[in-house]
């Protein structure tokens, strides 16, 4: 496997971020999960960090008339993470990592990883910045290779370093996710490689939620949860809740694991709408739906973390199939579409779009 990272001068221009030691490879502002925990409904609304987009858009190829669309004409997207006043989004099949900011700024490729994106859900699944990115400039990724699924670490100008290898690869079930829950703890969600039996096999890394302490080449994982189906995403609320999504033959699930390792079910969908990416805060969690073509917003009690009412649906049938999700720098959700996966994309797919929180008292129906 190899990685191509754009040069230092281009990176500075693309990201506009300088560190004492030189240009940052990826803008780390507001990307760490160890800042004060976010809330979907803060007591005092935060001023958006980005200029509101124009309400009118020029016409032309790859220019979407919807001002909420941040980027267009991407390949099928993978994970998406907040970075400064924009986001980094992965392209699952190409292995590219792109910086996206607003509709008037073209996406900029900041890195590319060699991956095997030939399976329906394999390739570059997810990305995460190191919690100490300001010092080490490292980015982590969950990828599919010719032989396995694995977690790798990237640094400017170097080849990927394998952190965790040997996660089984199958014809399907290759998608995975990564998330930091402490400065020295990386959680890894793995799919079942198309074989549900592997999820309950203790010796297999497939179908598990893994805990990797002090992640470095050759790290040994610990199994935190078994029985994962088709892996969706991981999202940490910055405090004490790590949420994760997966799909089983019976239902799609949103589950929570607390710092003591206790797992509880947050919500299930017997109609299996295709749970995918998630974005968490102390008072709830948003889940992207692929077949449901919506963003499901579930409200959780900040103290008990229980979800007692059905999630509301945001932007249903507006952007097609949704994949990765993150809580964006402007307080809205930033999600990537995956419409090219089934060969039926729109003219500007795939895209990164902003989905705002519903106004207080405005109801929870589709917008």
User: Is residue 217 packed enough to be buried (19+ CB in 10 Å), middle (13-18) or exposed (0-12)?
Assistant: exposed
| pLDDT score for 363 | 43
Nearest CA among 297, 269, 290 for reference residue 336 = 290
Count of residues in the chain = 367
Enclosing H/E stretch for 11: helix 8-15
- Kindly state the DSSP code that residue 331 receives in the 8-state scheme: S
> Would you identify the CATH topology of the domain 3-355?
Neuraminidase (2.120.10)
Whether the CB-CB separation of 227 and 200 falls below 8 Å is answered with yes
Torsional sign, CA 301, 302, 305, 307: positive
Q: CA-to-CA distance for 343 and 165, rounded, in angstroms? A: 31
pLDDT (0 to 100) of residue 90: 98
Asked if 14 contacts 112 with a C-beta cutoff of 8 angstroms, the reply is no
What are the structural domain ranges in the chain? Answer: 3-355
Comparing CA positions, the residue from 362, 269, 365 lying closest to residue 315 is 365
Could you tell me if residue 240 is left (phi over 0), alpha (psi between -120 and 50 degrees) or otherwise beta?
alpha
Residues of the chain with pLDDT under 70: 1-60, 360-367
pLDDT of residue 64: 95
pLDDT in tens, 51-88: 444 455 556 689 999 999 999 999 999 999 999 899 99
- According to DSSP, the β-strands at 185-189 and 3-5 are unpaired
* pLDDT (tens digit per residue) in 175-217: 999 999 999 999 999 999 999 999 999 999 999 999 999 999 9
């Amino acid at each position: 496997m190899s990685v191509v990272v754009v040069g230092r001068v281009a990176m500075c221009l693309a990201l506009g971020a300088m560190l004492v030691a030189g240009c940052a490879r990826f803008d780390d502002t507001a990307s760490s999960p160890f800042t004060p925990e976010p809330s979907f409904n803060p007591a005092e609304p935060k001023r958006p960090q980005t200029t509101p987009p124009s309400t009118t858009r020029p016409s032309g190829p790859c220019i979407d008339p919807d001002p909420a669309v941040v980027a267009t004409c991407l390949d099928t997207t993978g994970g998406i993470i907040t970075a400064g006043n924009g986001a980094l989004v992965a392209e699952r099949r190409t292995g590219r990592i792109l910086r996206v900011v607003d509709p008037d700024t073209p996406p900029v490729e900041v890195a590319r990883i060699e991956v095997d994106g030939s399976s329906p859900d394999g390739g570059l699944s997810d990305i995460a910045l190191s919690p100490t990115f300001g010092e080490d400039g490292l980015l982590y990724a969950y990828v599919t290779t010719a032989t396995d699924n694995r977690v790798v670490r990237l640094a400017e100008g170097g080849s990927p370093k394998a952190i965790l290898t040997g996660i089984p690869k199958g014809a399907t079930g290759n998608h995975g996710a990564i998330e930091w829950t402490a400065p020295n703890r990386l959680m890894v969600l793995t799919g079942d490689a198309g074989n549900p039996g592997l999820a309950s096999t203790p010796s297999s890394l497939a179908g598990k939620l893994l805990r990797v302490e002090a992640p470095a080449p050759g790290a040994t994982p610990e199994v935190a949860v078994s029985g994962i189906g088709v892996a969706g995403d991981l999202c940490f609320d910055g405090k004490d809740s790590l949420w994760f999504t997966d799909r089983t033959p019976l239902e799609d699930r949103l589950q929570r694991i607390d710092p003591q390792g206790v797992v509880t079910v947050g919500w299930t969908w017997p109609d299996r709408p295709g749970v995918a990416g998630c974005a968490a805060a102390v008072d709830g969690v948003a889940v992207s739906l692929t077949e449901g073509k919506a963003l499901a917003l579930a409200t959780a009690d900040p103290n008990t973390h229980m979800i007692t009412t059905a999630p509301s649906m945001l932007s249903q049938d507006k952007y097609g199939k949704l994949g990765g999700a993150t809580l964006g720098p402007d307080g809205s959700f930033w999600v990537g579409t995956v419409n090219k996966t089934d060969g039926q994309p729109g003219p500007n797919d795939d895209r990164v779009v902003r989905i705002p929180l519903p106004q207080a008292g405005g109801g929870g129906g589709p917008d």
